[in-house]
Structure 1
Amino acid sequence: MKTMTVTEFHGALIAQGVKREDLALICPMCQTVQSATDLIAAGAGSNFDEVEKYLGFSCVGRFTGAGTPRKDPDGAACNWTLGGLFALHKLEVVTEDGKRHPRFEPATPDQAMQHALKQGGAA
């Protein structure tokens, strides 16, 4: 299991160099790159503040009616959430008190920029 401190996690997101709505994370099950922009478009909320609780925790497919995770990623979002029974995530963010919180892994800066551009956003 990969771990990061909250500071390291925030640093990885800031390093993406995109607007906060375009901060990108990768679902551990379907491997799709997704952002708050995707969650808003899927109807999870109308702005960043409303979807932030889902970002990096629930796949955008939960809000689009996507099917369950597939054996092999096919580029489509799934309905995975890290709040379920199975712990199949790859990253835990560790808070100062030592508590571990499952999260989707941050995308690379290049992945985040490409995703933002594809979604009509810009850095």
Structure 2
Amino acid sequence: MNLLKFKDWKKKAENLFGENIEDWKFQCPSCKGVQTLKDFKEAKIKDPETKFYFSCIGRWVENKGCKWTLGGLLQIHKTEVINKDGESIPVFEFDNSTVEK
């Protein structure tokens, strides 16, 4: 399990995708679908900022992704972020397959 402090996780995301959080890409560990905060906002999903790195967009959008969330009993994620309160939050992996190297 990878444990990252929030500031380190954010820095990694910014290095991969830039400072605009809407462009950060995450990959669902179940269906391997890639999603962004922008995708969640365009789909008009309520409270997208708390979901786009934690739950697959398929929970709300038909024929896109799957219904996986990291809040369930089965734990197939590889990374957790330690928030300012010291709590460990499971997160999807960054999708860096489309980032220029």
What is the TM-score normalised by the length of structure 1?
0.68
Q: Which residue of 2 aligns with 1:88?
A: 76
> Matches of 2:78 and 2:20 in 1, distance apart?
25
Q: Give the superposition deviation at 1:23.
A: 1.3
3-state DSSP class of the match of 2:50? Answer: coil
Q: Which residue of 2 aligns with 1:27?
A: 28
> Matches of 1:43 and 1:27 in 2, distance apart?
19
Q: Which residue of 1 aligns with 2:10?
A: 10
Q: Give the superposition deviation at 1:54.
A: 0.5
Q: Give the superposition deviation at 1:82.
A: 0.9
Q: Please give the per-residue CA displacement for 1:75-98, whole angstroms capped at 9, x wherever unaligned.
A: x51110111121111111123554
Instruction: Label 1:42 to 1:97 Cα distance change in 2 as closer, same or farther (>3 A).
Output: closer
> Matches of 1:27 and 1:57 in 2, distance apart?
8
Structure 2, unmatched stretches of 5+, are none
Q: Which amino acid aligns with 2:88?
A: R
Structure 1, unmatched stretches of 5+, are 67-75, 114-123
Say which of 92, 96, 101 aligns to 1:104: 92
> Matches of 1:99 and 1:78 in 2, distance apart?
27
Identity of aligned residues (%): 33
What is the TM-score normalised by the length of structure 2?
0.81
Q: Which amino acid aligns with 1:22?
A: D
CA RMSD of aligned residues (A): 2.2
Q: Which amino acid aligns with 1:63?
A: W
Matched positions, count: 99
- Structure 1 runs (4+) deviating above 6 angstroms are none
Q: Please give the per-residue CA displacement for 1:61-80, whole angstroms capped at 9, x wherever unaligned.
A: 111135xxxxxxxxx51110
3-state DSSP class of the match of 1:44? Answer: coil
